[in-house]
């Protein structure tokens, strides 16, 4: 695996000065076509750090594999390459190949229209702007998958989730990458206080209690939007998946957050 990655990097370095970008992209797209179901290879081919720098591809395959042949709408925050207009875009092309019927949308604070291609569309804006995110959503419709690989600043990750998760399609999946910044002060994170801090990981961990909101013994408790619409959460090294759906299976014993036997419909089967 390491040898083939190094060979690909050597190949890329030789190609860059020799070929115009359009021809290089054609060659990479052809290589990618042969590896289309293998996300790790696609990440290598398109130079995305989702395999190599990070080890996310295996988790993405586990969570996205069943949807691969569906016409998914995927929105990724963070196109890559920062202020260099033609840099980045690797993960957008990777997703386009992985989801052959997918529509892939990218958001970045910098202009990335150089990456607009068949089934790829980019938007320029700030991931923390509710107006901007709602405008994109109105244009593309509810995304089935959102991936936050943007600024990774803790307050941005939380704010973006609060705006975009409600706009996600029913049964959609929201992914937060690079949660290591939850522990890093330069991103607004901290390592010395893992509970009760305004970090992205504390915010996400807190949501897990909401999965069981129907079991709380808290008479008068009003479930939040997230309590009612998150059905599962999956935590990995630096990566979190949050599934959207109706979280209303009901409790075996608790009714209206009252102690067992005391709720409005207590005693009914
Ligand atoms: C880590 S890179 C994305 C890499 C890409 N997703 C990939 O896998 O190849 C992060 C990108 O987020 C963008 N970004 C930073 N702050 C942002 C913000 N507030 N809103 C939108 N994009 C932002 C940066 O310009 C940069 O291009």
Known catalytic membership, residue 63: no
Mean pLDDT of 145-171: 98
**What three-state secondary structure class fits 76?**
strand
Q: How confident is the model at residue 232 (pLDDT cuts 50, 70, 90)?
A: very high
Mean pLDDT (whole number) for 63-81: 98
For residue 239, give both structure tokens: 């990566």
Tell me the CA–centroid distance for residue 127 and ligand 1, in Å: 9
pLDDT digits (tens, 9 = 90+) for 6-63: 777 777 777 777 778 788 788 888 888 877 789 999 999 998 989 888 899 999 999 9
Output the pLDDT for position 103: 98
Pick the closest to residue 77 from 161, 155, 140, 187 (CA basis): 161
Q: The whole model's pTM is what? A: 0.92
| Ligand 1 pocket, Cβ-based, cut-off 6 angstroms | 48-50, 76-82, 88, 90-91, 107-110, 126-128, 149-151, 156
Residue tagged active-site, from 54, 59, 115, 152: 152
Indicate the CATH number of 70-244 among 3.40.50.150, 1.10.10.60, 3.60.20.10, 3.60.10.10. 3.40.50.150
Evaluate if residue 269 carries a pLDDT over 50. Answer: no
Residue 72 CA to residue 162 CA, distance in Å, equals 22
State the pLDDT confidence band at 144, using cuts at 50, 70 and 90.
very high
Whether the per-residue pLDDT at 165 is higher than 50: the answer is: yes
Domain edges within the chain: 70-244
């Amino acid at each position: 695996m390491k040898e083939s990655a190094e060979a690909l990097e050597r190949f890329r370095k030789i190609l860059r000065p020799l070929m115009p970008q359009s021809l290089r992209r054609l060659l990479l797209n052809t290589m990618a076509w042969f590896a289309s179901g293998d996300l790790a290879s696609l990440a290598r081919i398109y130079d995305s750090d989702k395999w190599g720098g990070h080890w996310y591809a295996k988790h993405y395959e586990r969570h996205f594999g069943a949807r691969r042949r569906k016409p998914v709408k995927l929105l990724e925050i963070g196109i890559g390459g920062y202020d260099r207009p033609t840099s980045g875009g690797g993960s957008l092309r990777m997703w386009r190949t992985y989801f052959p019927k997918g529509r892939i949308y990218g958001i970045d604070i910098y202009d990335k229209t150089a990456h607009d291609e068949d089934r790829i569309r980019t938007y320029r804006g700030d991931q923390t702007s509710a107006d901007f995110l709602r405008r994109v959503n109105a244009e593309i419709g509810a995304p089935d998958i959102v991936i936050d690989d943007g600024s990774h600043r803790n307050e941005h990750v939380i704010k973006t989730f609060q705006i975009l998760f409600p706009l996600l399609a029913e049964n959609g999946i929201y992914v937060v990458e690079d949660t290591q910044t939850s522990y890093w002060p330069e991103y607004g994170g901290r390592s010395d206080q893992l509970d009760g801090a305004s970090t992205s990981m504390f915010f996400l961990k807190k949501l897990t209690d909401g999965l069981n909101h129907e079991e709380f013994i808290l008479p008068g408790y009003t479930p939040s939007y997230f309590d009612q619409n998150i059905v599962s959460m999956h935590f990995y090294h630096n990566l979190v998946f949050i599934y959207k759906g109706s979280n209303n299976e009901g409790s075996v014993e608790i009714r209206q957050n009252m102690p067992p036997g005391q709720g409005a419909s207590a005693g009914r089967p």
